[in-house]
Structure formats: structure tokens, C-alpha cells
């Protein structure tokens, strides 16, 4: 069965649109998301465009502040602090990755944790680890929402996550192994140093792959009947396409779909859910 993230995210966005109308009425203004974009990374440009489009759809005021790729940390810090002090700004998002000369972790820490809709400040990560999350990073939140809406029970299941990033793998492992609603799974977190990866992936009831490398996992590495969530999005050369490339995930879809009971496509799986959950976090930020 295909897990249609595009369709599920559309339903969530419709629900949020109704919620945002109520919030706007109470606040006397629309919720305000401030996005900071530094440089002209092509992928970032696409992601920001999609986020602003989603804002418009649900009724959030999305504002983009652009900086040249040569901008200094002091300039970015000053801008973030102004947005922190602006009571009309509900959420602040620093679009990653940043140019090499900028320290992303340092700059993220300047964001007011109550406006950190990406959930990446030390305070928000700490709250997540403690079991009392404020903001959960949008991609893990989207994966959880996909699983919930597909009616998948995690309690007691063997979950394997391939990839340990601060944005996806680590927060997801905390949520799924926790004691919250639809959690209590046994979680294994694999990464580039994991020996004999197939020994772990082939035992997974739920396999989540977020490595940033095309076709890391193929059908031979998957347990029959497993649920497969592919977080990756990679460009590979394809001269049959007008663009000269096509998008694929971190999982070899064609071989994996013959083994999996449920699987997300790329594109159209996790990606739309990430943006929907960002909108959900902005909605939450108006209540803090």
C-alpha cells in the first residue's frame, strides 16, 4: 500500500486553515512566520517557496528576509534579535544549510525558544528529551502523523531508523521510544558506522530511512510486510526527463515495494508532511 503523504498533508492543511481563522480572529491579525534565507542555495530557494505557499494557503503571514551569502554572523544575530523582540512575530525559521562561514548551531541559539518553530534550539531539544516537548522538528512530527493517520500501532514494534541527524533520526528515536501516545516502540538507531546494516533493517517492523544518499536501502534488506518510510530526496541523472534528472529517495522504491506492506513514495511522501507540520508548529507558537 502506498502512503500518500500528499493527500494526508492536504487534509491536515485544510484542518489547519480552519484553526488559523479562529486564531486570526482572536489575535486580530494572522499568525506571523519569519523565514531567514542566507545566500542562494537552489534547494533552499525551492523549500522556502513551498513554505511561503503553504503559509498563504492556511492563512499564515509568511515573511522572507534575505541576506547575501557573505552576510556576517553579527548581521544575522542582530536580525534574529529584532524578530525575537517583535511581539507580532510568532515563529522564526532559519533556513538551512547556511554558507560555510556561518555557524548554524550558534545562530539557532539566538532564536527565542518560544518562536523556534523548527524545534532546534537546545532548550526545545531538551524539552523533547525530557518527554515534555514544546516544538518537535517538522519532519519527525510529519512521520509520526503519517503513521498515526495510517492506523499503525507502534507499541512493542521493532522500529529501525537509519540516519542519526538532529533534524530527523535522533528526535524521532526519542518520540517513538517514549511513553507518549502511540509510542513505546523498541527503537534501533543506525548510522554510517553501523556494521552489517542488513542485520538490523531486515528485522524492522517499521523502517525509517534518512541518510541523504540515493538507494541506501533495497528490497533485499527489508523484512516482508514491513512499513517503510523514506525521508530522503535525491537528484539522479535521467536524460529521459526534460530537466535531465529525476527525484528518488534513500530507498530503492521498485525493489522495496514488493516487500513492504506500506511504503512512502518520493516525491509525495514525507516532504508534504514536513511543510504541513511546520504550519502546525506556527499555529502552536501563537499560543505560547
Catalytic residues: 51, 95, 118
Cell of 109: 541559539
Residue with cell 519532519: 139
Cell of 153: 500501532
Per-residue HEC secondary structure of the chain comes to CECCHHHHHHHHHHHHHHHHHHHHHHHCCCCEEEEEEECCCHHHHHHHHHHHHHHHHHCCEEEEEEECCCCCHHHHHHHHHHHHHCCCCCEEEECCCCCCCCCHHHHHCCCCCCCECCCCCHHHHHHHHCCCCCCCCHHHHHHHHHHHHCCCCCCCCEEEEECCCCCCHHHHHHHHHCCCCCCCCEEEEECCCCCCHHHHHCCCCEEEECCCCCCCECHHHCCCCCEEEECCCEEEECCCCCCCEEEECCECHHHHCCCCCEECCCCCCHHHHHHHHHHHHHHHHCCC
Cell of 285: 507558537
Amino acid at each position: 500500500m502506498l502512503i500518500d503523504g500528499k493527500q494526508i498533508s492536504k487534509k491536515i492543511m485544510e484542518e489547519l486553515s480552519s484553526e488559523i481563522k479562529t486564531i486570526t480572529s482572536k489575535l486580530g491579525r494572522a499568525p506571523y512566520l519569519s523565514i531567514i534565507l542566507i545566500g542562494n542555495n537552489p534547494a533552499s530557494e525551492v523549500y522556502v517557496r513551498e513554505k511561503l505557499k503553504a503559509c498563504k494557503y492556511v492563512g499564515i503571514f509568511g515573511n522572507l528576509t534575505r541576506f547575501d551569502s557573505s552576510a556576517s554572523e553579527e548581521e544575522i544575530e542582530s536580525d534574529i534579535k529584532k524578530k525575537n523582540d517583535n511581539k507580532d512575530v510568532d515563529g522564526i525559521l532559519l533556513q538551512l544549510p547556511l554558507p560555510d562561514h556561518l555557524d548554524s548551531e550558534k545562530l539557532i541559539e539566538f532564536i527565542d525558544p518560544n518562536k523556534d518553530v523548527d524545534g532546534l534550539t537546545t532548550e526545545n531539544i531538551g524539552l523533547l528529551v525530557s518527554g515534555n516537548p514544546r516544538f518537535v522538528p517538522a519532519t519527525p512530527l510529519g512521520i509520526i502523523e503519517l503513521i498515526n493517520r495510517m492506523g499503525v500501532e507502534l507499541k512493542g514494534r521493532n522500529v529501525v531508523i537509519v540516519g542519526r541527524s538532529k533534524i530527523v533520526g535522533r528526535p524521532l528515536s526519542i518520540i517513538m521510544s517514549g511513553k507518549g501516545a502511540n509510542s513505546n516502540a523498541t527503537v534501533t538507531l543506525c548510522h554510517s558506522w553501523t556494521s552489517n546494516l542488513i542485520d538490523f533493517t531486515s528485522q524492522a517492523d517499521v523502517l525509517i530511512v534518512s541518510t541523504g544518499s540515493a538507494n541506501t536501502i533495497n528490497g533485499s534488506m527489508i523484512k516482508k510486510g514491513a512499513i517503510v518510510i523514506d525521508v530522503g530526496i535525491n537528484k539522479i541523472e535521467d536524460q529521459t526527463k526534460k530537466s535531465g534528472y529525476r527525484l528518488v529517495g534513500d530507498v530503492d522504491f521498485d525493489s522495496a515495494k514488493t516487500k513492504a506492506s506500506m511504503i512512502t513514495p518520493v516525491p509525495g511522501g514525507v516532504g508534504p508532511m514536513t511543510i504541513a507540520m511546520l504550519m502546525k508548529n506556527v499555529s502552536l507558537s501563537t499560543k505560547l
